[in-house]
Amino acid sequence: MPEAILEVRDLVKHYPLTQGILFRKRVGAVKAVDGVSFALARGETLGIVGESGCGKSTVAKMLVNLERPTAGSISYKGEDLTRLSGKALKAVRRNIQMVFQDPYTS
């Protein structure tokens, strides 16, 4: 099996639900993404398909580090993207691209 270029393991993104104005208290969480895993080798393509609100865009945003995952790992060419920032993140982003589907042309 070819070596994975992109490897995602147990990716989780939860948004906290809070209550109160002066003293914020966490009362729960919205589970946007919960346990997504996949690996892509050179030359492979992945399409993420699902109903509205299932977390497709959230996964894509985490892949390019626009959203930070609550848990899990994203490895691109052996480098953990969840730990990058600044110049290192900018350098990696030059090689990663999201392509969103236009729903009106489908």
Read off the pLDDT of residues 8-49 as tens digits, 9 standing for 90 and up.
Answer: 999 999 999 888 888 888 888 889 999 999 999 998 988 888
What is the model's pLDDT at position 1? 60
pLDDT in tens, 38-97: 999 998 988 888 888 899 889 989 988 889 999 999 998 888 888 888 888 888 888 887
Q: If phi over 0 gives left and psi between -120 and 50 gives alpha, with beta otherwise, what is residue 66?
A: alpha
| CB 61, CB 68: distance < 8 Å | no
50 within some domain = yes
pTM above 0.85, yes or no: no
Structural domains of the chain, count: 1
Alpha carbon distance 56, 69 (integer Å): 14
Q: Is residue 44 part of a domain?
A: yes
CATH of the domain at 60: 3.40.50.300
- Supply the pLDDT for residue 35: 93
Domain carrying residue 61: 4-17+27-93
Is the residue at 98 inside a domain? Answer: no
CA distance 13 to 67: 9
Tokens matching residue 25? 């208290």
